[in-house]
């Protein structure tokens, strides 16, 4: 059990690897799933604000951050199974889940396969679509490039596409923090994570089966998963709420943390 209002950097043995996670606060539990190719520290802008109201659990997904596993073939099914096993280890019957980008794909996979384990879902800067053939080909080329040249060039290119221009000019510490997060991951995390993204199934056809309260959040200038994708999620998930965060790109939780936190608190308290 976590100590109220104190970060616990903890490890749990989850089916053949040690999953690292942060655990703090008290109250109703909410699990945060990070995007690709980041780690749990992307959620630190949420910790201080949200731990006053909820129990916050943020894992490093398998192979990312401190959850070292450079052997397993990654997939959305595997990530979702890891999430359920972590919940079992923590004796959590039901949680709210919040996923950004790839974390949203995992949340949708998990709620499709284990609907009884969730009491709310928050989908941030994400979508329900599978990769197009063109998207798959682009990812496979990136995998080849990383195997040939390492992760630095990919990281530099990726960072150019994820932020609102104002974030880049006025909040350089956020850009630097995300860059460090990416560079701390192994080549396996990049290449296998990208393969998992390329091979993921669509979840659009199950959105009307989501019966729990749902919130969709998107940065106004997200070019990777644009507002139209968020709008589609909102239209298909009956009774869902949608919030567009101005002056944010794909990493809305870091770029406009104060607004993001208020949106989540208001949603979960209601």
Identify whether 261 is part of a domain: yes
Paired tokens of 184: 């701390």
Q: What is the pLDDT of residues 145-162, one digit of tens each?
A: 999 999 999 999 999 999
Identify whether 1 is part of a domain: no
Q: What is the pLDDT of residue 7?
A: 57
pLDDT surpassing 60 at residue 5: no
> How many domains does the chain fold into?
1
Q: How far apart are CA 211 and CA 44, in angstroms?
A: 29
Identify whether 2 is part of a domain: no
Cα separations (Å) of 262 from 86, 172, 197, 243? 27, 23, 30, 11
Identify whether 238 is part of a domain: yes
The arithmetic mean of pLDDT across residues 256-264, rounded, is 98
Please choose, from the candidates 138, 135, 169, the residue with its C-alpha nearest in 3D space to the C-alpha of residue 154.
138
The Cβ of residue 98 has, within 10 Å, a number of other Cβ atoms equal to: 28
The Cβ of residue 42 has, within 10 Å, a number of other Cβ atoms equal to: 23
Q: What is the pLDDT of residues 17-41, one digit of tens each?
A: 999 999 999 999 999 999 999 999 9
For the CA atoms of 148, 149, 153, 154, the dihedral, rounded to the nearest 10 degrees, stands at 30
Identify whether 191 is part of a domain: yes
The arithmetic mean of pLDDT across residues 180-208, rounded, is 97
Q: What is the pLDDT of residues 45-95, one digit of tens each?
A: 999 999 999 999 999 999 999 999 999 999 999 999 999 999 999 999 999
Q: What is the domain extent for residue 64? A: 8-269
Q: How confident is the model at residue 4 (pLDDT cuts 50, 70, 90)?
A: very low
Question: Domain holding 258: CATH number?
Answer: 3.40.50.1820
Q: What is the pLDDT of residue 8?
A: 58
State phi, psi for 2 to the nearest 5 degrees.
Answer: -80, 150
101, 225 contact by CB (below 8 A): yes
Q: Considering the chain, what is the average pLDDT of its residues?
A: 95
Identify whether 3 is part of a domain: no
Identify whether 105 is part of a domain: yes
Identify whether 18 is part of a domain: yes
């Amino acid at each position: 059990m976590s100590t109220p209002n104190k970060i616990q950097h903890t490890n749990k043995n989850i089916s053949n690897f040690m999953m690292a996670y942060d655990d703090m606060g008290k109250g109703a539990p909410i699990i945060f799933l990070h995007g690709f190719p980041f780690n749990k520290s992307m959620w630190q802008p949420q910790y201080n604000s949200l731990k006053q109201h909820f129990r916050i659990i943020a894992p490093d997904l398998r192979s990312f951050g401190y959850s070292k596993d450079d052997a397993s073939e990654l997939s959305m099914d595997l990530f979702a199974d890891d999430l359920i096993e972590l919940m079992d280890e923590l004796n959590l019957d039901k949680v709210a889940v919040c996923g950004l980008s790839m974390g949203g794909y995992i949340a949708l996979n998990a709620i499709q396969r284990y609907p009884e384990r969730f009491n709310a879902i928050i989908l941030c800067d994400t979508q329900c679509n599978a990769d197009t053939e063109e998207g798959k080909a682009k990812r496979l080329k990136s995998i080849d490039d990383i195997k040939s040249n390492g992760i630095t060039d990919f990281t530099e290119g990726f960072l150019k596409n994820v932020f609102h221009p104002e974030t880049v000019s006025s909040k350089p510490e956020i850009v630097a923090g995300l860059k460090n997060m990416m560079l701390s991951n192994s080549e396996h995390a990049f290449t296998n994570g990208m393969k998992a993204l390329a091979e993921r199934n669509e979840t659009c056809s199950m959105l009307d089966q989501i019966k729990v309260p749902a919130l969709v959040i998107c940065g106004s200038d997200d070019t990777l998963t644009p507002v139209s994708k968020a709008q589609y999620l909102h239209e298909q998930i009956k009774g869902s709420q949608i919030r567009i965060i101005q002056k944010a790109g794909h990493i809305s939780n870091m770029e406009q943390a104060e607004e993001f936190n208020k949106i989540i608190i208001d949603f979960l308290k209601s």
